[in-house]
Amino acid sequence: MADLSKVVEILLGGDKDKLIAEVQANLNGGADGKDILNEGLIKGMDIVGEKMESGDMFIPEVLNCAMNMSAAVEILKPHLPEESGSAKGKVVIGTVKGDLHDIGKNLVAMMMESAGMTVINLGVDIAPEQFVAKIKESGAQIVALSALLTTTMAMMKKTIDAISESGLRDQVKIMIGGAPVNQDFAEQIGADGYAPDAGSAARLAKELVA
Ligand code: B1M
């Protein structure tokens, strides 16, 4: 595998043009898109998170790194493995209310699209009633909830409860993901599934509509 430590280093340095040039140089050199994502960009964002926690990086710098990562993902998109097989199905995806993290959720949406699904990406900070309204309007078969904060995990349950109260629970499969959640939590709150990363999320979505 290519040495991707420079991608990590440049991501941490916060220069978007340099990051894009480095990602492109790695692609030109034959590096695997998935490796650049996992061993470069995601690894870099993990270090950003550690620095944020220890007070060595502040929110504006973190946000800048996040925006640069999103720009780099755009370059990587055509080089990421497509999920095999064409699955039909409509997914409503969003980051739950109170939570503004969207990079992971957008990767999940991208992988689902590459698996042939129609994805309605509601964005971040999405209230339970917004999910309910979109399910009604779109007739989606899957609802995909993302959360990155321990404080917003409870909003996943509130969203599932709102879907049940609106009488739509039997029409949709609900899947969850994001760093603080796991399979046990999914079962506890009555979700139909949990996926740890974007690739497995697309596979799970296909299974849920099969
Ligand atoms: Co925030 N943040 N942040 N942050 N941030 C974390 C999550 C944190 C772990 C950092 C840390 O302290 N180490 C920490 C959470 C602690 C906790 O609750 N346990 C944290 C905190 C505390 C906060 C604030 C409260 C900070 C503050 O204001 N004091 C604040 C909260 C704002 C809010 O949401 N209300 C905040 C703000 C921000 C920014 C806005 C500055 C920025 C987000 C910008 C953006 O997203 N557009 C930001 C960032 C960038 C991060 C870190 C550094 C990186 C997140 C990321 O994009 N990772 C993050 C630390 C970290 O994750 N290491 C951190 C890369 C991404 C590809 O991974 O999102 O995990 P991830 O997605 C993965 C999987 O989780 C999974 O697949 C993805 C791809 O494989 N997945 C799913 C995600 N959703 C899925 C859904 C699925 C299936 C899989 O199915 C539906």
94 DSSP β-pair partners: 145
90 and 15 fall within a common domain: no
pLDDT of 165 > 70? The answer is yes
122 and 195 fall within a common domain: yes
ipTM field: 0.98
Q: Is the CB of 125 under 6 A from ligand 1?
A: no
Domain CATH code at residue 58: 1.10.1240.10
Instruction: Give residue 86's pLDDT.
Output: 59
Query: How many whole angstroms separate alpha carbon 13 and alpha carbon 169?
Result: 46
Q: Is the CB of 101 under 6 A from ligand 1?
A: yes
Q: How many domains does the chain have?
A: 2
Locus of tokens 């509130």 = 158
Q: How many helices (H) and strands (E) does the chain have?
A: 10, 5
Q: Is the CB of 144 under 6 A from ligand 1?
A: yes
143 DSSP β-pair partners: 92, 174
- Name the nearest CA neighbour of 112 among 95, 99, 93: 93
Could you give the percent of the chain with pLDDT greater than 90?
A: 84
Domain assignment of residue 73, given as a range: 5-80
Q: Is the CB of 174 under 6 A from ligand 1?
A: no
Distance, C-alpha 182 to centroid of its chain: 15
Q: Tokens for 21, please give them.
A: 């040039």
Q: Report how far ligand 1's centroid is from the alpha carbon of 104 (Å).
A: 8
113 and 126 fall within a common domain: yes
